[in-house]
């Protein structure tokens, strides 16, 4: 008797891999891939990933500025001032917006200042207009004391020269553009966008713009996967539809691998097509297939492979399964290869809802349940969208989905579920 | 004594409007604005908003198809079949992928079929391969009965001819592209993208690519607001920086209003600049100013106005305040004008975290607290990012934010908070 093959069950079928195991197998293989970077202008940088730590070249703000309309003072001069015992200061200057203040605030004096105005030499705090009463053109009455540093933003308080403004691996958001603009950083080094090659396979598939004869169907997966990959920050190269013949499929895969960081093919939920997909990944080799099928519904028949540094995904032909596999496996691969250093501990934002009916699940399998959401007596209810994994309209009707994990055999009506929105 | 002005307090200052009241005043004025639409190709339609209901021109699938590898049968022939009492069927044909099946399934017969194969005439169910045992080339043994309709997707089951595929006002997601592709819909009618004109104001502001002399600062808001508006699905026209003089500011506003659906100006947190912003909106008139300041921190000094159908936003100069006001007021305005019919009842997805320290708030004011998130003993902790509203780095450091509502005077350490991620 030969040693048992751990990847096969007693009937010689491929063992299904648990989802979390498949994911760590995949991501484990993608950890140390070096990504090329490029220099781009700041106004093209939204959603790109920083390739290096970006250090602040200067203090922001460069000089202390007032954060209120009022009077620049020496804080010590205001000591003890109150409604019942005001103090009096000589008004001996004014700070004009956009200009360097002229002169110096001497003891017992103050300068008029607006929000954003540069703090004049000699002053260390700002008294709010509301806490003063004008006596005449040359004098104000103060009814509140202030400590040094009050109502101003200090030199370098926002960010100091030499400190890290953005760390490497950070996805640039609008506010990050603002920070870099504030520092005058006009060009930055970012990772190149991940390129994803997409093929559809199967003799029964025609391009969606064609009128399919009986027996054939329009390609749904290509445009859906393209949209998902673009939203994940990738560029997409479309390799169209290839036939079920190895002599067409294999060279197209080779070409796609050469020009992309990730290659997806979809179609072929039949055993024959699945076998062909596996055969081609095996033939590409090095290391070849990582995962044959996962304990997931929908999405079980996914094949995950690797050719050198290029992850290869054989996604199920059913559009719902293909999309679910994209979200669970392809999106994390794009994110990893993009150079994005995610805070691993941050969960996905979800919304809480109440399940409207009982849902069964098989133990040992992760189920993804599509739902529509609606409010009933002030409670958000999740209504499962039932339908086959070949039915794209079920995904279009769904507001989101929740998971039933491997340890559960289902959820009862009125259970609380955490819904991931499909936005 | 004259009648009290409801928009002013006892000291003659403008009364602040509660945030929800300001928002309904704004959105109430934008309800019935007709948006122009345009026809575009499907592959450009991601994230656009449908302008009309889209009806399915055909049944999807056009013919019943198998969802499993196995045998197409008459369900009635399998009645009573089980492991202990199998039934036998003659194998008299095969369905080839992408082809119309030849012949008809007669009583007591079956055809071999793959997943996706067209159901042959005479059959009404599919038996899974796993529930059969081949007897010889011409006969199979069946160990399980199936009901009519089992393991197939019926004609029109995904979506039926004439039904609504996507309703008007729907934002097109990847799966919606897939649905339309499956129906062969190659062009659709969508609303034109909302155009947002952005100005920065203030004599102390220089473009971020310039080296500011003392007293001046680089423009942070323009690039931040541009990024936010683009993410909200809008096109942005940049009107650069205008001075504090009405004779510059007013004509630029007129030009921006003419070419855009929404106009934002930012800058001027000083009383003088704020007065000028108000003066210009009043001068534009019809109806002019809707809101002078809101009970919000940060973001109090926002001015909201309307010139005919064009909402005008005077955003605070402080970058954090400007961004908060964008999220709370400008984004909903863009969304409304985009024609997007949001499911109003769906809350924003959030993540649950535990507040790391006490936070004070003033009753009657909505506070937005920026936080960093980190895990501690398996619990997600929210650490408030303290810093002034002029400090853009506090937003760049923050993972997200939570609200403390008007009725609260603060939250205690270890309170549960719902964090909106800044992604």
For A179-201, what is each residue's pLDDT tens digit? 999 999 999 999 999 999 999 99
Residue B363 domain-assigned (yes or no): yes
Q: Do A227 and B350 make contact, defined as CB atoms within 8 angstroms? A: no
Instruction: Tell me the CATH number at A49.
Output: 3.90.105.10
In a domain, B383, yes or no: yes
pLDDT mean over B218-229:
97
Judge whether A198 and B178 are in contact, CB under 8 Å.
Answer: no
Strand pairing report for A366-376 and A296-297: parallel
Write down the pLDDT at residue B4.
44
Q: Is A396 close to B228, i.e. CB distance below 8 A?
A: no
CB contact under 8 A, A165 and B271: no
pLDDT bin (cut points 50, 70, 90) of residue A66 is very high
Residues 6+ apart with CB under 8 A from B54: B164, B165, B166, B167, B180, B185, B188
Q: What is the pLDDT of residues B369-399, one digit of tens each?
A: 999 999 999 899 999 998 888 899 999 999 9
Residue B165 Cα, gap to closest chain A Cα (Å): 8
Query: Which phi and psi (to 5°) does residue A218 adopt?
Result: -75, 150
Same domain, B231 and B263: yes
Lowest mean pLDDT among A114-123, A346-355, B12-21: B12-21
Q: Are residues B162 and B44 in the same domain?
A: yes
Cα dihedral B243, B248, B250, B253 sign = negative
Does the pLDDT of residue A6 top 80, yes or no?
Answer: no
Does residue A209 share a domain with residue A330? yes
In chain A, what residues touch B394 (CB-CB under 8 Å)?
A: 158
Q: For residue B129, what are the CA distances in angstroms to A279, B94, B114, B115, B143? A: 21, 14, 9, 11, 11
Quick one: pLDDT at residue A272?
77
Q: Is the pLDDT of residue A300 over 50?
A: yes
In the beta sheet, which residues pair with residue B171?
B49
* Confidence band, pLDDT 50/70/90 cuts, at residue B92: very high
Per the CB < 8 A criterion, the answer to whether A277 and A236 are in contact is no
Q: Is residue A2 part of a domain?
A: no
**Average pLDDT in the A13-35 region?**
91
Mean residue pLDDT across chain A: 93
**A4: pLDDT confidence band, cut at 50, 70 and 90?**
very low
pLDDT for the residue A344: 67
- Name A400's bridge partners: A371, A421
- Chain A residues lying within 8 Å of B221, measured CB to CB: 178
**Shared domain check, A277 and A264:** yes
Instruction: List pLDDT tens digits, range B355-368.
Output: 999 999 999 999 99
Residues B317 and B204 in one domain: yes
* Residues A383 and B330 sit within 8 Å (Cβ to Cβ): no
φ, ψ (nearest 5 deg) of residue B352? -85, 135
- Would you say residue A14 has pLDDT above 80? no
**Residue that is written with structure tokens 């007021």 in the block:** B329
Q: Nearest CB to B182: which of A202, A218, A422?
A: A218
- Looking up residue B97, the CATH number of its domain turns out to be 2.170.190.11
Are A311 and A396 members of one domain?
Answer: no
pLDDT tens readout for residues B261-282: 999 999 866 677 788 999 999 9
Q: Are residues A114 and A215 located together in one domain of the fold?
A: no
Residue A220 falls within a domain, yes or no?
A: yes
Residues A74-102: pLDDT tens digits? 999 999 999 999 999 999 999 998 889 99
Written as six digits, the tokens of B15 are: 């009364």
Radius of gyration of chain B (CA): 31
Give B218's contacts in chain A (Cβ within 8 Å): 181-184
Q: Which of B217, B270, B375 sits opposite A345 (nearest CB)?
A: B375
Q: For residue B208, give both structure tokens.
A: 């971020």
A53 and A101 share one domain: no
User: Is the peptide bond preceding residue B313 cis, with omega within 30 degrees of 0?
Assistant: no
The verdict on B44 and B167 lying in the same domain is yes
Residues B48 and B184 in one domain: yes
Q: What pLDDT shows up at residue A7?
A: 58
Domain with residue A330: its CATH number is 3.40.980.10
CB contact (8 A) between residue B396 and residue A420: no
User: Which pLDDT does position A381 carry in this prediction?
Assistant: 96
User: What average pLDDT does range B108-122 have in this prediction?
Assistant: 94
Last residue of a domain, one of B308, B337, B366: B337
Q: How many CA atoms lie within 13 A of B117 on its CB side?
A: 28
Residue A297 lies in a domain: yes
Cβ-Cβ contacts under 8 Å, A318 against chain B: 67
Using an 8 Å Cβ cutoff, are A422 and B175 in contact? yes
CA distance B42 to B172: 10
- In a domain, residue B264? The reply is yes
Mean pLDDT of chain B: 93
The kind and range of the H/E element at B73 are strand B70-73
Q: Which domain holds residue A169?
A: 40-60+161-191
Under a CB-based contact definition with an 8 Å cutoff, are residues A335 and A193 in contact?
no
Number of domains in chain A: 4
Chain length of chain A: 423
The ipTM of this complex is: 0.92
B342 in any annotated domain: no
Instruction: Tell me if A153 sits within 8 A of B388, measured CB to CB.
Output: yes
A44 and A166 share one domain? yes
**Mean pLDDT, residues A250-257 taken together:** 97
Domain membership of residue B1 (yes or no) is: no
């Amino acid at each position: 008797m030969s040693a048992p093959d751990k990847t096969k069950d007693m009937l010689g079928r491929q063992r299904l891999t648990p989802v979390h195991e498949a994911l760590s197998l995949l991501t484990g293989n993608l950890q140390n891939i070096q990504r090329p970077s490029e220099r781009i202008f700041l106004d093209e940088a939204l959603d790109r990933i920083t390739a290096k730590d970006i250090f602040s070249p200067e203090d922001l703000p460069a000089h202390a500025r007032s954060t209120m309309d009022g009077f620049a003072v020496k804080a010590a001069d205001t000591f003890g001032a109150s409604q019942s015992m005001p103090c009096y200061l000589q008004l001996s200057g004014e700070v004009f917006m956009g200009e360097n203040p002229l002169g110096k605030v001497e003891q017992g004096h103050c300068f008029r200042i607006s929000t954003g105005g540069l703090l004049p030499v000699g002053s260390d705090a700002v008294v709010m207009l509301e806490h003063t009463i004008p006596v005449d053109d040359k004098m104000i009455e103060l009814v509140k004391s202030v400590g040094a540093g009050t109502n101003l933003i200090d030199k370098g308080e926002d960010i100091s020269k030499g400190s890290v403004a953005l760390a490497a691996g950070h996805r640039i958001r609008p506010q990050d553009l603002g920070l870099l603009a504030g520092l005058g950083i006009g060009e930055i080094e970012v990772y190149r966008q991940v390129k994803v090659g997409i093929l559809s396979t199967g003799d029964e598939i025609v391009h969606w713009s064609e009128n399919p004869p009986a027996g054939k169907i329009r390609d749904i997966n290509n445009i859906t996967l393209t949209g998902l990959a673009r939203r994940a920050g990738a560029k997409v190269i479309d390799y169209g539809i290839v036939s079920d013949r190895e002599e067409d499929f294999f060279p197209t895969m080779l070409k796609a691998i050469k020009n992309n960081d990730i290659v997806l093919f979809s179609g072929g939920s039949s055993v024959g097509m699945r076998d062909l997909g596996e055969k081609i990944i095996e033939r590409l080799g090095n290391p070849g297939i990582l995962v044959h099928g996962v304990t997931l519904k929908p999405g079980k028949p996914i094949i995950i492979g690797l050719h050198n540094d290029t992850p290869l995904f054989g996604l199920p032909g059913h559009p719902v399964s293909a999309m679910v596999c994209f979200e669970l496996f392809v999106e994390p691969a794009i994110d990893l290869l993009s150079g994005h250093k995610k805070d691993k501990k941050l969960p996905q934002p979800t919304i809480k809802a109440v399940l409207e009916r009982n849902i069964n699940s098989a133990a040992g399998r992760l189920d993804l349940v599509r739902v529509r959401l609606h409010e009933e007596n002030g409670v958000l209810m999740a209504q499962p969208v039932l339908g086959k994994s070949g039915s794209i309209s079920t995904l279009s009707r769904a507001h989101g989905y929740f998971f039933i994990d491997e340890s559960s055999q289902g959820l009862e009506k009125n259970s609380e579920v955490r819904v991931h929105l499909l936005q």
